[in-house]
């Protein structure tokens, strides 16, 4: 970690007792009429893959610090950084003139799918790409062939600087989310004069049901070093909400696997099902949430090089209180004669 990051953390921590004396442990009064709320999350993980020569390992998966500021009901902002890697993840000014139109200017997550936008403190799936350490199998994007691997490796859901516009209208039954970004990912300099666009349109239906359509037009360089527009189209169905009984999220996505070649087109589908059950108070636990994820992807390679793979993830999360708990996942990967698995345990602390 850099000296600058350490100094920043020390300064923030030094101010906590001042705010805690009057406003509680997590709120810091910055100046009259405005406030800053400090939060953090830590995830400690153990992973044991089936790949020969790959040891089971304990490591800190995330250690993030978040500061949310508010000047008034219409103006706010956020700074979120990775305290372990000294990287700024989110840093934006947010303007909220109405429910129908809100804008963020800065750095944020593009979010080709809600699957990547949902906070990792809500999602009991430990690794969104179904990673199995030691497996580099999927042409172009590497790793395992899965929905999360394609959206992540191709930059459809990365943190990027730019402009984000979002809103809900028609009695909050319709919504949209549009981003204009560099298209190169976190901390990377733009390589051409065009920009990447992604958008989502959602219909919010009765019984906690949402249907969304996604479109991305990425700009990147082709094999000749020329700017190439890379399309991706996706749909998503969600039924239910977090920690309230059954919850289902289904995704489908087609796009260009430009990391493989200029013309390869990938396809991927994913289903996730959860069921949150509240536990009796005498157990000392808040609840348990069993889950299953099934993800299939075709890399777009042709002929004998064609690779398609499936990830199946059974698991569960036990909640101690709020968003704190322990999750267990078993990622099972299959592609042709390839068979691999990865057992993961993760302890999550959110404060």
Give the single-character DSSP code of 279: P
Kindly tell me if the per-residue pLDDT of 6 is higher than 80: no
Predicted pLDDT at 9: 45
Q: Tell me: the pLDDT tens digits for 247-278?
A: 999 999 999 999 999 999 999 999 999 999 99
- Percent of the chain surpassing pLDDT 90: 72
Record the tokens describing residue 70, joined without a space: 């508010």
Q: Tell me: the pLDDT tens digits for 116-135?
A: 899 888 899 999 999 999 99
Q: Tell me: the pLDDT tens digits for 177-190?
A: 999 998 776 766 77
- How far apart, in Å, are the Cα atoms of 83 and each of 40, 88, 89, 92? 10, 9, 10, 18
Contacts of 16 (CB under 8 A, 6+ apart): 25, 28, 38
Locate tokens 């700009």: which residue? 219
Question: How many residues are given for the chain?
Answer: 351
Kindly tell me if the per-residue pLDDT of 12 is higher than 60: no
Mean pLDDT over all residues of the chain?
89
Looking at residues 146-175, what average pLDDT do you find?
94
Q: Which helix (H) or strand (E) holds 17?
A: helix 3-23
- How far apart, in Å, are the Cα atoms of 205 and each of 118, 172, 208? 19, 10, 7
Residues 131, 51: contact at Cβ < 8 Å? no
Question: Which residue segments constitute the domains of the chain, with CATH numbers given?
Answer: 3-350 (2.40.160.10)
Q: How confident is the model at residue 29 (pLDDT cuts 50, 70, 90)?
A: low
């Amino acid at each position: 970690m850099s000296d600058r990051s350490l100094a920043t953390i020390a300064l923030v921590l030094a101010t906590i007792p001042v705010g805690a004396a009057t406003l509680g442990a997590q709120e810091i009064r910055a100046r009259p009429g405005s406030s800053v709320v400090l939060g953090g999350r830590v995830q400690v993980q153990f992973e044991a893959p089936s790949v020969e020569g790959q040891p089971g390992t304990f490591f800190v998966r995330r250690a993030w610090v978040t500061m949310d500021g508010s000047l008034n009901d219409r103006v706010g902002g956020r700074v979120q950084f990775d305290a372990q890697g000294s990287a700024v993840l989110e840093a934006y000014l947010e303007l909220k003139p109405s429910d129908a139109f809100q804008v963020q200017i800065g750095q944020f997550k593009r979010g080709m799918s809600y699957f990547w936008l949902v906070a990792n403190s809500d999602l009991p799936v430990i690794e969104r790409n179904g990673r199995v350490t030691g497996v580099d199998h999927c042409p172009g994007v590497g790793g395992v062939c899965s929905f999360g691997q394609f959206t992540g490796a191709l930059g459809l859901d990365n943190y990027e600087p730019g402009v984000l516009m979002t809103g809900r209208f028609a009695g909050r039954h319709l919504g949209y989310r549009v981003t204009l970004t560099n298209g190169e990912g976190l901390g990377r300099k733009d390589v051409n004069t065009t920009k990447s666009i992604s958008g989502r349109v959602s219909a919010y239906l009765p019984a906690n049901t949402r249907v969304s359509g996604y479109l991305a037009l990425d700009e990147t360089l082709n094999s000749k070093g020329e700017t190439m527009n890379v399309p991706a189209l996706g749909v998503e169905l969600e039924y239910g909400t977090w920690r309230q009984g059954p919850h289902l999220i289904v995704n489908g996505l087609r796009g260009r696997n430009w990391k493989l070649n200029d013309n390869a087109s990938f396809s991927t589908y994913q289903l996730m099902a959860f069921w949150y059950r509240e536990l009796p108070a005498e157990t000392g636990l808040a609840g348990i949430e069993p889950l299953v994820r099934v993800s299939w992807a075709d890399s777009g390679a042709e002929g004998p090089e064609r690779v398609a793979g499936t990830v199946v993830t059974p698991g569960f999360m036990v909640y101690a209180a709020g968003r704190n708990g322990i999750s267990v996942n078993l990622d099972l990967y299959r592609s042709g004669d390839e068979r691999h698995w990865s057992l993961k345990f993760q302890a999550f602390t959110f404060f």
